[in-house]
Amino acid sequence: MDTTYATLFSSTGKRTLFGYTNFFIIFQNLVTFGLLGWLSFGCESSTETASPPPNFVIIMADDLGYGDLDAYQTPHLDSLAKAGLKFTDFHSNGAVCTPTRAALLTGKYQQRVGMEGVIYVRGETRETGLDTTQVTFAELLRQAGYATGMVGKWHLGYHPEYNPVNQGFDFFRGYVSGNIDYHSHYDNAGIYDWWDGVDTIQEEGYVTDLLTQHANTFLEEHQQEPFCLYIAHEAPHWPYQGRNDPADRFPDTNFNALGSREDRRGAYQEMVEVMDESVGSVLSTLKRLNLSQNTLVFFCSDNGGVDSLGNNGFLRGHKTQLWEGGHRVPAIAYWPGMIDAGTTNATIVSVDILPTLLSLANSQLPKNFVTDGVDFSKLLTEGQTPETRTIFWRYRDQWAARQGDWKLLVQQDSTYLFNLAQDISEQHNLTATEPERVKSLMDTLQNWEAIMDQVLQKTQ
């Protein structure tokens, strides 16, 4: 147990969130036994202080499939899952990169903030980005006194006005496109894409290692104040390159966007395992700085694994699809002394992160702030599952609605209904036997879509 912070424990040995609960129990007992005078005397010589606000480290993998952690050597993430809370029913809001990141940061459906599709390195979408009028969890936490930092993949706008430092982050080191060469740091259009804030910077190194280095430096520099660090890994997104592979991308040259290495499976495995090393390094830094017991570490992926190399386990589908394999992803929450080790089947999505962080920070959401997420802080600290709600997905010509165990999926002219508690692999279409449930979910989905379309029109 860290002794750096005032960590009060309950009778179960589990710390209370801000250290107040045990104080009032003790106070009540002192009054009962007529010892209030002793308490007054004690207060003159010693002042009890509450624990400081918790720190947050959000780690997001890129294209990591539901079964990828079981397929490769990931000892640090395995240990994290064993010591923390493992989610079996966590979902990305999008089936691709940009939408999920927009939802994560804003606490709103990506449709509500005009980020429903991918921002590509070429074409019209390159001129777009997350509107700076949108409020991110970084902005809200900074207003609450937190130092905020981001390393890694942004993918919410190329132009400086959309840069992370203009969206609530005090510090940013990484790239703004969807993917870069792990060594030369050129994007898919042959444009150099490695940034220190709003300025490009020349820096040699393998992307995963650089992110780790800057993440640890941020922790060192802000160990004396509340902080929120967002680590957005490139791995295991293509190009498929290991630490010792050559750079493939340079300006004014033809290159294979996926990378030149023939053994892509081997490269993919190495990328996952090096990312696992990065997680271990960050956890080691937190422990060395005596920050572990006051820091929530949350790990997840931005969407399901790709069709060719990703491992989505027993789930049907993959990245870009709204089958479970496209958006049910690995997720782990770790906070020693506050989160009990175990597994939860609560249905949680990326959009829930923002209200949960604000709740744990004991900070109120601004007046008139709209969030589509739910606060699952009590799931983390007390094991209370949030109430059942309807969750929605939309990407291109696919729609889905989830209510409890039931999932409606619409693709072009086909409609599917699944009971995920009995059929997580989505093999048995129940539309013929559950017509009333289909109609109810379809009506709910269409109402949601009408609302989102109205909002989307206003953002365009």
| pLDDT tens column, 294-312 | 999 999 999 999 999 999 9
Mean pLDDT of the chain: 91
Judge contact between 341 and 82, C-beta under 8 A.
Answer: yes
| pLDDT tens column, 219-251 | 999 999 999 999 999 999 999 999 999 999 999
Predicted local confidence at residue 60, as pLDDT = 99
For 379, the enclosing helix (H) or strand (E) is: helix 377-382
Residue range(s) occupied by CATH 3.30.1120.10 in the chain: 390-459
Question: Is 32's pLDDT higher than 90?
Answer: no
Predicted local confidence at residue 73, as pLDDT = 95
- How far apart, in whole angstroms, are the C-alpha atoms of residue 296 and residue 274? 22
130: CB partners within 8 A, 6+ apart: 102, 105, 106, 113, 115, 136, 156, 157, 162, 167
Alpha-carbon dihedral angle through residues 183, 206, 93, 358, given to the nearest 10 degrees: -140
* 40 or 332, higher pLDDT: 332
Judge contact between 371 and 355, C-beta under 8 A.
Answer: yes
Q: pLDDT band for position 253 (50/70/90)?
A: confident
- How far apart, in whole angstroms, are the C-alpha atoms of residue 218 and residue 206? 18
Q: pLDDT band for position 455 (50/70/90)?
A: confident
- How far apart, in whole angstroms, are the C-alpha atoms of residue 88 and residue 5? 32
Look up residue 436 and give its DSSP letter. Answer: H
| pLDDT tens column, 343-379 | 999 999 999 999 999 999 999 999 999 999 999 999 9
Q: Report the catalytic residues.
A: 97, 155
Q: pLDDT band for position 459 (50/70/90)?
A: low
Question: Is 273's pLDDT higher than 70?
Answer: yes
| The token pair that represents 142 in the structure block | 């900074």
Predicted local confidence at residue 179, as pLDDT = 98
What fold does the segment set 390-459 form as a domain?
A: Arylsulfatase, C-terminal domain (3.30.1120)
Predicted local confidence at residue 41, as pLDDT = 33
What fold does the segment set 55-382 form as a domain?
A: Alkaline Phosphatase, subunit A (3.40.720)
For 409, the enclosing helix (H) or strand (E) is: strand 406-411
Predicted local confidence at residue 18, as pLDDT = 41
| pLDDT tens column, 155-197 | 999 999 999 999 999 999 999 999 999 999 999 999 999 999 9
Residue range(s) occupied by CATH 3.40.720.10 in the chain: 55-382
Q: What average pLDDT does range 125-138 have in this prediction?
A: 96
Q: What percent of the chain has pLDDT over 70?
A: 89
Highest mean pLDDT among 45-59, 112-126, 161-175: 161-175
Q: What average pLDDT does range 52-74 have in this prediction?
A: 97
CA proximity to 189, closest of 251, 240, 105, 127? 251
Question: Is 3's pLDDT higher than 50?
Answer: no
Cβ neighbours, 10 Å, residue 451 = 14
Predicted local confidence at residue 13, as pLDDT = 41
Predicted local confidence at residue 278, as pLDDT = 99
| pLDDT tens column, 422-452 | 999 999 999 999 999 999 999 999 999 999 9
Judge contact between 85 and 339, C-beta under 8 A.
Answer: yes
